[in-house]
Structure formats: structure tokens, C-alpha cells
Amino acid sequence: MPSLLEDLRSALLTSAAPVLTGDQDFGPLGTSPATTLVPAAVLVPIVRAPEPRLLLTTRTANLRNHAGQVAFPGGRIDPEDDGPVAAALREAREEIGLDPAHVELLGIADRYQTGTGYSVHPVVGSIAPDLEFRPNPHEVADVFEVPLDFALDPRNHLLREAEWKGRLRRYYVIEWQDRTIWGATAGMLVNLSARLR
């Protein structure tokens, strides 16, 4: 296994305060602190290769939430799921056709609270480089890969500002070729990167 994946596995075993706890770190979200967060999980799939690659999806434009955004496969934790790992693997199977048997669990990264009311558990796992995916056409427009070292390099974590719900919001962006990784997905990668430092 490439050393970056071994380093990541070791880093996920340590207890460290995350750089970001969620979108609210950039200012008030306009929601009450008493708002109940919906438990969710995403799979952070890393393709095992001499130079490991991060697998990401582009969500379809017709979705109610996060349409057209770059994301990890994932969603809410259902009552029948046996925790975040089971939910992340189920969602990855539903969204991109990834068989859970092909995922080697590396660990669970820092929870991330989204501005849309989710408390997301990032489940990090590695997968073989020769897998074929079957994206669900109702949820996933595209599946693509980004070099893991690029995605985790702090020099590529750019802070941007935009107006959201009448407020100026700050958020992280990672630009890769013609792709823009931003928001919660970029925030989770910023946290993952910090664990390696």
C-alpha cells in the first residue's frame, strides 16, 4: 500500500481537534443552535495506486439539495444502518454501484456540520484501481478522480467568499483542472489534510 495511505490510516487513529467543525466556523448560518442535525455519512474513496487518487462524484442538476456540486458518495444515516460505516457503504453502492466488499476501511475522519443541517461522518476507505462504476443517473452525473496528494496539499485549499441567504459566507475551494471542489466536501478534505501535518 502506498505510504500516503499508510500515513492517512495512522493519522485517523489519532485524536486531534479538527481545523473545521463545519460551515458554521465561517460565521452564523442563520439557524437556531437548537436545530437538530440529521446524522449522515459519506465514503471518501481513495484509489490504491502508486500515486493514490481520490474518487469524487458530480451530483445531477435536478437534485433538491446540492445539485451539480462535487461530492463524496453519501447521505443520511437510515434507522436500519448499523452506524456511519454501513450508511456510507450503502450510499456508495446506491450512487455509484461500488460493492462494499471492495472497500478497505482506513478509518473515520472528523465529523463536519453542513449549513443545510447535516452532521456528516466521513468514512475513509481504499479501493482497487480497476473497478467499474455504475453511477445512478438520478443522483450522479459523473465520477472522476483527483490525485490525493493534490487534494490534501494545503497550498491548494483556497478561501473564497460569496453571498448566501443574504450573508457574506466564506468557504474552501480546491480547483482541479475544470472541476471545483467546495463547501463541505472541501472542508472535509481540509480537515483530513490537517491530520497528516
Map residue 28 onto helix, strand or coil. Answer: coil
| Cα 72 to Cα 160: distance, rounded to the nearest angstrom | 21
Sole residue written with cell 502506498: 2
- In DSSP terms, 121 is beta-bridged to 41
> pTM for the full model?
0.90
Task: pLDDT band for 140, please (50, 70, 90 cuts).
Answer: very high
pLDDT above 90: residue 175 = yes
| CA-angle at 185, arms to 187 and 189, nearest 5° | 55
Phi, psi of 122 (to 5 degrees): -80, 115
CATH fold, domain 3-196, is Nucleoside Triphosphate Pyrophosphohydrolase (3.90.79)
| Cα 138 to Cα 147: distance, rounded to the nearest angstrom | 27
Task: pLDDT band for 161, please (50, 70, 90 cuts).
Answer: confident
Task: Tell me the per-residue pLDDT of 85-130, one tens digit each, with 9 for 90 and over.
Answer: 999 999 999 999 999 999 999 999 999 998 888 999 999 999 999 9
Task: Work out the end-to-end distance of the chain between its first and last CA atoms, rounded to an integer number of angstroms.
Answer: 20
| Cα 54 to Cα 152: distance, rounded to the nearest angstrom | 10
**What string of DSSP letters covers 117-138?**
SEEEEEEEEEE-TT------TT
More confident residue, 22 or 119: 119
Task: pLDDT band for 34, please (50, 70, 90 cuts).
Answer: very low
